[in-house]
Structure 1
Amino acid sequence: MELFFASLLSIFVLVVLFSLHFLLYKNKGANLPPGKTGWPVIGESLEFLSTGWKGHPEKFIFDRMTKYSTQVFRTSLLGEKAAVFCGAAGNKFLFSNENKLVQAWWPSSVDKVFPSSNQTSSKEEAIKMRKMLPNFFKPEALQRYVGIMDTIAQRHFATGWENKEEVVVFPLAKNFTFWLACRVFVSVEDPNHVAKFADPFNLLASGLISIPIDLPGTPFHRAIKASNFIRKELVAIIKQRKIDLAEGKATPTQDILSHMLLTSDENGKFMAELDVADKILGLLVGGHDTASSACTFVVKYLAELPEVYEGVYKEQMEIAKSKAPGELLNWDDIQKMRYSWNVACEVLRLAPPLQGAFREALNDFKFNGFSIPKGWKIYWSANSTHRNPEVFPEPLKFDPSRFEGSGPAPYTFVPFGGGPRMCPGKEYARVEILVFMHHLVKRFRWEKMIPDEKIVVDPMPIPAKGLPIRLYPHKA
């Protein structure tokens, strides 16, 4: 037995040495960015992830910016050789060269959780979606949904917040944004129907970016099971919608589902039912997770900063007083919420739900004098500018005035990404966050029950205990 393990160890060492020799030989002569790749296979992934778990995701980036380069450094993440681009110059380069020098990259687990897209790839499917979504998410289209969002918000606060002394914010924020996504994307608004989807969606979201081991008990296995369950439910909704559209019981503009079913590609071809289900699945995941994190941190910062709360309260109450009894919020009301949106932007700067994203090099190219080999993964980090004192003076200070006038310099404030891959749901997120803020401050003041609650990032920032607060309703 000892001989067997000794042989196994020898083989492992040889494999590692051969791999290192191959990598060194392959990149010999190339002027690679400074940095280190850490352990074989694992690379620096554990340190990259653990700084997030400890609540300081920017530490991984800033430690290496200080040690190696403020523009670009090399590392190894998720089993891939990677370069991390830092600062506005790095953001501008990546956002400007989308589908020229770089393209989006996701771990293999994403394609496996969305299997009906396997005949193409998640990248190609994402490009198709980006052509389709702007028509739905542009301001003219979103104007139709402000009243719907207001109605859902009223129901949400009536059932989840009112007549309660204490609440835990993050689960409630998730409930609100998921309810909205179900209503706006597929016209499902019955709370029981929404609740049926909620648990499988949480399993799917937590296992989507994970080690792709499909064994019972693993997050990845649970994500695949959950996606199959939701896909089946969505196909039933899609079949019924087709009938309703044909019979005139549903309208072409009522939600994203109708829009998808009635939109053909350049060849006049319509999407198959399973593909539509996959797209809706992806939108429901992306359409509520990030916004729920943003709403939670709005509550956190307004609890900590009474003077900022007062500014938001004053603005929102002026709007509330201008409405007739029972009159819903409209697009003009949203445009009046300027200070509230500056506050929300400062929240997104300090706690960006999207910490960064990966790209893949389509060809060899140079950046800042360094060679980036074809196939390398490239990571950009929101925190490399958001928390950089050279970009935002006193970066840890909460200051909504940073967003007055023309606002921050280009490519420095990137919570929604940028360039062709700018989040298509940016305006949708703006409206839902502002509607949430309106109903929150109109009803309550509040205080945090855990003054120094830890923040963890996995992969989005969330308070470790979900942000429990004590509510103080406004006196009528």
Structure 2
Amino acid sequence: MEMEMLILSVLVLFVSLYLFRMLNKNASRNEAGHHHQLQPPPGSSGWPIIGEGLSFTMTAKRGVPEKFIEKRRIKYSSSDSKGSNSSCKVFTTSLLRESVAVLCTAAGNKFLFSNENKLVHSWWPYTIYTIFPGLKKPDTHKDSIRLRKVMSPFFSPNCLQKHVGIMDGFTKRHMDEFWSDEKQVKVLALAKMHTFTLACKIFLNVEDPEVIAKLEEPIQHISAGFISTLPINLPGTPFNRAIRASKKVTKDLEEMVERRRIDLDRYRQSTATAADLDENNQDMMSKLLMDTYSNGRQMKETDISDIADKLKGLLIAGSDNVVTTICSMVIFLFQLPTVYDAVLKEQMEIADSKAEGELLNWGDIQKMKHTWNVACEVLRLEPPNPGTFREAMTDFVYEGYRIPKGMKLYWSVFSTHKNPEYFPDPEKFDPSRFEGEGPAPYSYVPFGGGPRMCPGREYARFTILVFMHNLVTRFRWEKIFPDEKMVMSPFLGPTRGLHVRLYPLPSTPSL
């Protein structure tokens, strides 16, 4: 009897497991079928091969990149039988020979940022992969997470405040040498020189002008290759120069990393303590090397190459984006005298509080609240980076539409930055938007968001504030070409290099 009951129990168990498995299969089929039945977001593939890329580029060059999204958001909005309008939250387009879903709302930004490495991961156009072949490595996402853990402490306010005096002293010397005795200057060129040299100091602990010049020229070719309208790898083209320049910079940085590795080895073998080692190696190159050493394994050749790649990216991001924001601020402060006067008042109060020769410190940066609000409004209206791409890691549903695995997604700052739903009277320059609680969550995203938020945002803030402090306390200025403006092609920059005429103020702080 007991044996019969045991057999019966086993049979019931197997039947139950079988039925449970079949129910799960049916549910999965129904869900898959449901996903398959759903339509992709509304949109257009545009012209053969070029898609809607020409329209995307032209609106950017006209200085109105938001029009590309606004026009399609209106076009694909719908109304129900009662006449109620339903605003379009996502549409498809064709860019870079890819079908791309464009998310149009702050909720869309939140969705992408919160689903990083869950439903989506980063994706770059083939031009970027060609210039930066290291991005193609299969472990790029894991490596990116590890890198951010290393960089986050370096770019934290607590760490960066140690560099404020260095930044200020460097900027004062730059102004003394290249601005003070000039009646006219080209802001773009000088700002590039300033920010790149400063990045070499902070990231590499390199101050030798010859070494910096050796890096700067190919870096400029790389940046030009990003915005090449004809990305063809033929000798003499900007794209080809960018590829060759990228290889050269990587090689030069690899040599620098290897020399630093040898120096660190010698330092470790000396009587120096771990605290001494950390105190004397505050730059990013040393931090990356020491992190690679932290697990006790020997440095590999691929480690040297990886670190060089990361430093190359930091040098580009740490200078280009800051430069464009400085140029935009120079234009807005000239065009808006009351805004300039308010910034000048705040900065002169700080300058007047300093003893002769005393450099800015962390407390001074904290006092520059209005100046940073102005910078934030500049970043809202003219963000250096218009947006980035993601790729669907799996099929999923967004706002009732099917997003298939492999489809590209694009989030743009202009979906929200110039949308009156989030910023009333969006074309008006109004720094007070950033007072109090500030903009609605996920509506203001010049530095991205989520796990991939720009790790250097605080570094950019410090660099911009220190530069503007030194500029406005020394000069007023006017544009030599009144109609010159910032345009995206596809990255932001002044159309003629931003020539300005300088008018020194009566009293100028000097180091």
With structure 2 as the length reference, what TM-score do the two structures score? 0.84
What letter is aligned with 1:93? F
Would the aligned equivalents of 1:293 and 1:460 in 2 still touch at CA under 8 Å? no
Q: 1:21 maps to which residue?
A: none
Q: Deviations over 1:147-187 (max 9, x none)?
A: 11112211221222111111111121111111111111001
The answer to whether residue 338 in structure 2 is matched with residue 338 in structure 1 is no
Would the aligned equivalents of 2:478 and 2:502 in 1 still touch at CA under 8 Å? yes
**Structure-2 change in CA distance of 1:459 and 1:125 (3 Å):** farther
Would the aligned equivalents of 2:227 and 2:489 in 1 still touch at CA under 8 Å? no
Would the aligned equivalents of 1:116 and 1:278 in 2 still touch at CA under 8 Å? yes
The answer to whether residue 288 in structure 2 is matched with residue 260 in structure 1 is yes
Q: 2:63 maps to which residue?
A: 55
Which segment is superposed worse, 263-272 or 429-438? Answer: 263-272
Would the aligned equivalents of 2:171 and 2:466 in 1 still touch at CA under 8 Å? yes
Q: 1:76 maps to which residue?
A: 94
SS in 1 for 2:118: coil
**Structure-2 change in CA distance of 1:115 and 1:384 (3 Å):** closer
The answer to whether residue 405 in structure 2 is matched with residue 374 in structure 1 is yes
Structure 2 unmatched ranges of 5 or more: 1-34, 78-87
Would the aligned equivalents of 2:328 and 2:486 in 1 still touch at CA under 8 Å? no
| Alpha-carbon shift at residue 266 of structure 1 (Å) | 8.5
The answer to whether residue 358 in structure 2 is matched with residue 327 in structure 1 is yes
User: Mapping of 1:435-454 within 5 angstroms?
Assistant: 435-454=466-485
What letter is aligned with 2:42? P
Q: 1:168 maps to which residue?
A: 186
Q: 2:119 maps to which residue?
A: 101
Identify the match of residue 204 of structure 1 among 222, 246, 259: 222
Q: 1:473 and 1:182 mapped to 2: Cα distance?
A: 29
SS in 2 for 1:386: coil
What letter is aligned with 1:354? N
Q: 2:371 and 2:411 mapped to 1: Cα distance?
A: 28
SS in 1 for 2:410: strand
Identify the match of residue 248 of structure 2 among 229, 237, 241: 229
What letter is aligned with 2:425? E
| Alpha-carbon shift at residue 38 of structure 1 (Å) | 0.8
* Aligned-CA RMSD value: 2.0
Which segment is superposed worse, 244-253 or 36-45? Answer: 244-253
Q: Which has the larger radius of gyration?
A: 2
Q: Deviations over 1:301-343 (max 9, x none)?
A: 0101111111111111111111122211111110110000000
The answer to whether residue 235 in structure 2 is matched with residue 216 in structure 1 is yes
Would the aligned equivalents of 1:116 and 1:275 in 2 still touch at CA under 8 Å? yes
The answer to whether residue 342 in structure 2 is matched with residue 311 in structure 1 is yes
| Alpha-carbon shift at residue 242 of structure 1 (Å) | 1.9
Q: 1:458 and 1:132 mapped to 2: Cα distance?
A: 33
| Alpha-carbon shift at residue 122 of structure 1 (Å) | 4.5
The answer to whether residue 146 in structure 2 is matched with residue 128 in structure 1 is yes
| Alpha-carbon shift at residue 121 of structure 1 (Å) | 5.5
Would the aligned equivalents of 1:54 and 1:455 in 2 still touch at CA under 8 Å? no
Which segment is superposed worse, 158-167 or 422-431? Answer: 158-167
Q: 1:150 and 1:446 mapped to 2: Cα distance?
A: 21
The answer to whether residue 41 in structure 2 is matched with residue 44 in structure 1 is no
Q: 1:398 and 1:88 mapped to 2: Cα distance?
A: 21
Identify the match of residue 424 of structure 2 among 363, 382, 393: 393
| Alpha-carbon shift at residue 475 of structure 1 (Å) | 1.1
Q: 2:259 and 2:53 mapped to 1: Cα distance?
A: 45
Q: Deviations over 1:325-365 (max 9, x none)?
A: 22111111101100000000000001011101101111111
Would the aligned equivalents of 1:110 and 1:209 in 2 still touch at CA under 8 Å? no
Would the aligned equivalents of 1:71 and 1:86 in 2 still touch at CA under 8 Å? yes
The answer to whether residue 249 in structure 2 is matched with residue 241 in structure 1 is no
SS in 2 for 1:423: coil
Would the aligned equivalents of 2:179 and 2:185 in 1 still touch at CA under 8 Å? yes
| Alpha-carbon shift at residue 118 of structure 1 (Å) | 4.8
Would the aligned equivalents of 2:36 and 2:402 in 1 still touch at CA under 8 Å? no
Would the aligned equivalents of 2:478 and 2:501 in 1 still touch at CA under 8 Å? yes
Structure 1 unmatched ranges of 5 or more: 1-26
| Alpha-carbon shift at residue 420 of structure 1 (Å) | 0.9
Q: 2:394 maps to which residue?
A: 363
Q: 2:201 and 2:221 mapped to 1: Cα distance?
A: 21
Would the aligned equivalents of 1:178 and 1:284 in 2 still touch at CA under 8 Å? yes
Q: 1:207 and 1:125 mapped to 2: Cα distance?
A: 25
SS in 1 for 2:329: helix
SS in 2 for 1:66: helix
SS in 1 for 2:421: coil
**Structure-2 change in CA distance of 1:190 and 1:442 (3 Å):** farther
SS in 2 for 1:82: strand
The answer to whether residue 53 in structure 2 is matched with residue 34 in structure 1 is no
Would the aligned equivalents of 1:95 and 1:418 in 2 still touch at CA under 8 Å? yes
| Alpha-carbon shift at residue 144 of structure 1 (Å) | 1.3
**Structure-2 change in CA distance of 1:251 and 1:296 (3 Å):** farther
Would the aligned equivalents of 2:486 and 2:495 in 1 still touch at CA under 8 Å? yes
Would the aligned equivalents of 1:388 and 1:395 in 2 still touch at CA under 8 Å? yes
Q: Deviations over 1:407-433 (max 9, x none)?
A: 111001100001111110011111000
SS in 2 for 1:285: helix
**Structure-2 change in CA distance of 1:72 and 1:217 (3 Å):** same
What letter is aligned with 1:220? F
Q: 1:117 and 1:42 mapped to 2: Cα distance?
A: 25
Q: 2:414 maps to which residue?
A: 383
Q: Deviations over 1:46-90 (max 9, x none)?
A: 211221122211111111111114311001110111100012111
Identify the match of residue 184 of structure 1 among 193, 202, 206: 202
**Structure-2 change in CA distance of 1:411 and 1:212 (3 Å):** same
**Structure-2 change in CA distance of 1:301 and 1:292 (3 Å):** same
